[in-house]
Structure 1
C-alpha cells in the first residue's frame, strides 16, 4: 500500500478539507460542537485523533482542560456506541479557524511521511473489539490530563495521538508504540504530581 492510499492519509486530508471549507465562510472560529458535527457525531476514532492533534496547539488558559474533557466525552460515547454530544459548557468553546487550518496542513504533510512507515499489521489491536480497552485508556489518561498542572498533558497526549493515528491506519505495531509513550507520559506526570504535593506540604509546614 502506498503512502498516498493509506487510510491515515485519506483521513487527514478529509480533516484539512473540511476545515478549509469552513474557513471559506465568514466565521473566524469553530465551536467544539461544530467540530463534532463537521467530522461526524459517530466518527469516534477520527475525532479522537483530531482532538489529540488540537491538544498540541497552544491555547488560552483552560484550553488543555477543555480538550481533555472533550476527549473523555468522545471516548465515553464510543464505549456506549452512541453519537457524540458535548454539553454546552464544552461544546460552545471556540477554536480559531485560521490556526486549525494551518495545523491541519502540517498534519497532512506529517501523516504522508509517517504513512511510509506505518502499514496495516497486527490488526487485532485495531479491531472493533479493541475499542473497549482503547476507550477505557483514553478516559483514564484524559482524567490525568484534565488536572490544572502546567505541561502535564504533553507526553501522554503524544501517546494518545500515536494510538489514534495507528488505530485509523490499522497499525497494531503503532498502537504498541503509542502505549509505551502514554505509559512514559503517565510516569512523568506521576513524578510531577508527587513533586507538586511534596512542595505544597513543605510550604505548609514552613508556614506552620
Structure 2
C-alpha cells in the first residue's frame, strides 16, 4: 500500500534533502544563518518547525538559549512579514551537519507515522490569517524559554513542535492540542522560575 503523501511529509523530506545537499561540500558545520538561507528566508513556518526540533537535541551550555532566541527572531520576522535576518551573535552559531542530518532523517520517519493521524482539518486555524497570533504566541514562549533556568524549555518546546507540525500539515485540531501542551509547559516553567526564586531567597536569608 502506497503511503499517503501529506504536506508535512513533503516538508520534512525537503528539510532532510536540503541538509544532505549542504553536506555534499567540505563543510562539517552549518551556521544558523546558513540554515535560513538553505531553507529560505521567507520559510517562517518551516524554520519554526526545524528550530523547535533542534531544541530537543541536547547541546552545550547556552545552546538552548541560542535556539530560543533564534525561534524568537524567526517569529518576529513572520509577525512583520519580513525576510528572516538573524542577529550576528545568533546567526554565526555553528551546528554539526552530521547531527542535523541524522535528526532530520528521524523527523521524516516520525512525520510519516504522525501523518497517519494528522490530516488537513479546521484549516481556518492554519491559514495566512493565523500568522499574526501564531507569531505572537511563539515570541512570548521563546522569551520564556530563553531564561537561563535548567529544564525550563522542555515542555513548552514540545507544544511549539506540535503547533509547527500541525500548521504545516493544515491540521487545526493539532494546533489546538499544541496550544494546550504549550500552556501546560508555560505553567510548569513559571512554577520552576518561582521555585528557583524562593530557593534563592531562602539561601540568601540563611546567610544573613
Tell me the TM-score normalized by structure 2.
0.98
Report if aligned partners of 1:32, 1:94 keep a CA contact under 8 Å in 2: yes
* Matching residue of 2:57: 57
Aligned twin of 1:85: 85
Contact 1:3/1:116 (CA < 8 Å) preserved in 2? no
Shift of the alpha carbon at 1:5?
1.5
User: Which runs of 4 or more aligned residues in structure 1 lie more than 6 Å from their structure 2 counterparts after TM superposition?
Assistant: none
The structural deviation recorded for 1:160 is: 0.2
Quick one: distance in 1 between partners of 2:16 and 2:4?
15
Q: Output aligned runs, 1:1-208, within 5 Å.
A: 4-208=4-208
Query: In the TM superposition, what is the alpha-carbon distance from 1:4 to its structure 2 partner?
Result: 3.5
Q: How many residues align?
A: 207
How far 1:173 sits from its partner (Å)?
0.3
Give the Cα–Cα distance (whole angstroms) in 1 for the partners of residues 116 and 23 of structure 2. Answer: 30
In the TM superposition, residue 73 of structure 1 has moved relative to its aligned partner by 0.4
Tell me how far apart the structure 1 counterparts of residues 165 and 3 of structure 2 sit (CA, whole Å).
Answer: 14
Q: Which runs of 5+ in 2 are unaligned?
A: none
Determine the C-alpha separation between the residues in 2 that align with 1:94 and 1:3: 35
**Superposition RMSD on alpha carbons, in Å?**
0.8
- Cα distance, 1:3 vs. partner? 5.1
What is the CA-CA distance between 1:87 and the residue it aligns to?
A: 1.1
Q: Matches of 1:81 and 1:127 in 2, distance apart? A: 14
Please tell me whether the aligned partners of residues 3 and 113 of structure 1 are also in contact (alpha carbons under 8 angstroms). no
Find the aligned partners of 2:164 and 2:80 in 1 and give their Cα distance: 18
Q: CA separation in 2, counterparts of 1:172 and 1:148?
A: 32
Residue 137 of structure 1 deviates from its aligned partner by: 0.3
Superposed CA deviations along residues 127-186 of structure 1, whole A, max 9, x for unmatched, are 111111100000000010000111110000000000000000000000001001000100
| Distance in 2 separating the partners of 1:150 and 1:21 | 35
